[in-house]
Structure 1
Amino acid sequence: MPDLEFCRRARRAITAMLLALPSLTLSGAVAAAAAADPVPEMDYSLLEQRDRPDDHFTQGLFFDGERWWESSGLFGRSWLAEYTDPTARPVRRKWLAADRFAEGLTVLGERIYLLTYKAGELQVYRRSDMAPLGRRYYAGEGWGLTSDGEQLIMSNGTDTLTFRDPDTFAIRRELRVHGGSEQWSLLNELEYAHGLVWANIWQDKRIVAIDPDSGEVRGTVDLQELEPGSQHPDVVANGIAWDRGRDGLWVTGKFWPRLYLIRPRGLGFGQSPDSTAADQPR
Structure 2
Amino acid sequence: MKRIIALFALIALCAGCFLQAKDATPVYGYTVVHTYPHDTGAYTEGLFFQNGYFYEATGEIHHSSIRKVDPQTGEVIQRANLDTSDYGEGIVAWKNKLIQLTWQSHHGFIYDLDSFKPVGQFDYPGEGWALTQNGHRIFMSDGTPTIRILDPETLQQTGKIDVTANGQPLGNLNEVEWVKGQLYANVWLTHRIARIDPVTGKVVGWIDLTGLGPKPEETIDPSNDVLNGIAYDVAHDRLFVTGKRWPLIYEIKLTAPKPD
TM-score after normalising by structure 1:
0.78
Q: Which residue of 1 aligns with 2:126?
A: 140
User: Using the alignment, how far apart are the partners of 1:59 and 1:243 within structure 2?
Assistant: 18
The structure carrying a bigger strand percent of its residues is 2
User: Using the alignment, how far apart are the partners of 1:173 and 1:245 within structure 2?
Assistant: 29
Does 226-235 or 236-245 show the bigger shift? 226-235
1:65 positional shift: 3.7
Asked if structure 2 preserves the Cα contact closer than 8 Å seen for 1:65 and 1:244, the reply is: no
Q: Which residue of 2 aligns with 1:247?
A: 237
Asked if structure 1 preserves the Cα contact closer than 8 Å seen for 2:37 and 2:71, the reply is: no
SS at 1:114's partner residue? strand
Asked if structure 2 preserves the Cα contact closer than 8 Å seen for 1:160 and 1:175, the reply is: yes
Does 214-223 or 78-87 show the bigger shift? 78-87
Does 226-235 or 196-205 show the bigger shift? 226-235
User: Using the alignment, how far apart are the partners of 1:88 and 1:186 within structure 2?
Assistant: 29
What is the number of residues matched between the two proteins?
A: 234
User: Greater RCO between the two (CA within 8 Å, min separation 6)?
Assistant: 2
Alignment gaps of 5+ in structure 1: 1-32, 268-282
| Root mean square deviation, CA, Å | 1.9
User: Using the alignment, how far apart are the partners of 1:229 and 1:60 within structure 2?
Assistant: 22
Q: Decide which of 175, 189, 203 is 2:175's aligned counterpart.
A: 189
Q: Hey, which bits of structure 1, 4+ residues long, moved more than 6 A?
A: none
Q: Which residue of 2 aligns with 1:202?
A: 188
Percentage of matched positions with identical amino acids: 32
1:254 positional shift: 0.4
User: Using the alignment, how far apart are the partners of 2:92 and 2:233 within structure 1?
Assistant: 14
User: Using the alignment, how far apart are the partners of 1:83 and 1:170 within structure 2?
Assistant: 29
After superposition, the Cα gap between the structure-2 partners of 1:86 and 1:213, relative to the gap in structure 1 and judged at 3 Å, is farther
The structure carrying a bigger helix percent of its residues is 1
Q: Say whether 1:236 aligns with 2:222.
A: no
TM-score after normalising by structure 2:
0.85
Q: Decide which of 234, 246, 251 is 1:256's aligned counterpart.
A: 246
> What is the letter of the counterpart of residue 155 of structure 2?
F
1:243 positional shift: 1.6
User: Using the alignment, how far apart are the partners of 1:182 and 1:171 within structure 2?
Assistant: 24
1:109 positional shift: 1.1
Does 135-144 or 243-252 show the bigger shift? 243-252
1:129 positional shift: 1.2
User: Using the alignment, how far apart are the partners of 1:149 and 1:106 within structure 2?
Assistant: 11
Q: Decide which of 124, 131, 135 is 2:117's aligned counterpart.
A: 131
